Amino acid sequence: MDTVALELAEKQAALCRAFGNARRLLILWILSKDELPVHEIAARAGSSLQNVSQHLNLLKRSGIVTTRRDGQTIFYQIADHEYLKHCPALLRAPDRLD
């Protein structure tokens, strides 16, 4: 296998790992609609700030989400909505997440 193919396979494996957790999928569904700070994501996900922060950190390291700082607040957003096409389950996000 050539180096380019191996690198692509490693990136796809990282995406699969990132998408392979129900809480992270919920976070991605939430972020597919809005750019939000961690406390708002945690509230909508019904999870602790610490838990959501850990998941967001993994998603950021994987390149799936990015951040934007506004004063002391950090907003999270989907880096590229093309990521949502890599996993069919992501396309079936519920219409309502409240």
pLDDT in tens, 65-92: 999 999 999 999 998 877 666 666 555 6
User: Is the Cα dihedral 44, 55, 30, 94 positive or negative?
Assistant: negative
pLDDT (tens digit per residue) in 19-72: 788 899 899 889 988 899 999 999 999 999 999 999 999 999 888 899 999 999
Confidence grade of residue 13 (pLDDT, cut at 50, 70, 90): confident
C-alpha span between 25 and 55 (Å, rounded) = 10
Query: Has residue 97 been placed in a domain?
Result: no
Task: Print the domain residue range for 76.
Answer: 3-91
CATH of the domain at 62: 1.10.10.10
Q: Tell me the β-bridge partners of 70.
A: 73
Query: Has residue 36 been placed in a domain?
Result: yes
Query: Has residue 41 been placed in a domain?
Result: yes
Query: Has residue 29 been placed in a domain?
Result: yes
Task: Report the domain count for the chain.
Answer: 1
Give the pLDDT of residue 93: 60
